[in-house]
Amino acid sequence: MPTADKVSMKQVLSSFHALIEEDTAPPIQAITTVNHSRYKVTWDDIVKRDRDKPRVVMLRRMVSKLFRDLGYSYTSIGKVMQRDHGTVMHNVKVMNGMLDVYPEVQQEWRDYKTDVSNKISNKERGE
């Protein structure tokens, strides 16, 4: 059975070839790896249209905000996440609002962002 990293990269390469040219592969691979290890959520879960799993909805918002914080446009994020740019804007706005109000969300966000940043840094160093 393939590992989460191999499956994740395969999904990324097959689904987002055009965006890989825009250098989104390292963040997507890092996000996919962290999502799987921390939350047992796949990239397919993130891009599905389901809204019945609050954990996945929250993670979708976190991913949207993370890409935005990395400097990607709402349109590019929307392409990666198979959403309209307006949906991405809404996700980022809701996430920012939650960060303003809920200390537990702030802590989860810091931990998540740190994990993804470390994965991206390790990948760039070839680890």
pLDDT digits (tens, 9 = 90+) for 69-100: 988 999 999 988 999 999 999 999 999 999 99
pLDDT score for 124? 58
DSSP state of 71: T
Whether 64 and 88 have beta carbons less than 8 Å apart is answered as: yes
Note the pTM of the prediction, 2 decimals. Answer: 0.76
Whether 99 and 105 have beta carbons less than 8 Å apart is answered as: yes
CA distance 111 to 32: 15
Gap between the terminal Cα atoms of the chain: 22
Indicate the fold that domain 4-118 takes in CATH: Chromosomal Replication Initiator Protein Dnaa; Chain: A; (1.10.1750)
Any idea what the Cα angle at residue 67 is, between residues 65 and 73, rounded to 5°?
A: 100
Domain map (residue ranges) of the chain = 4-118
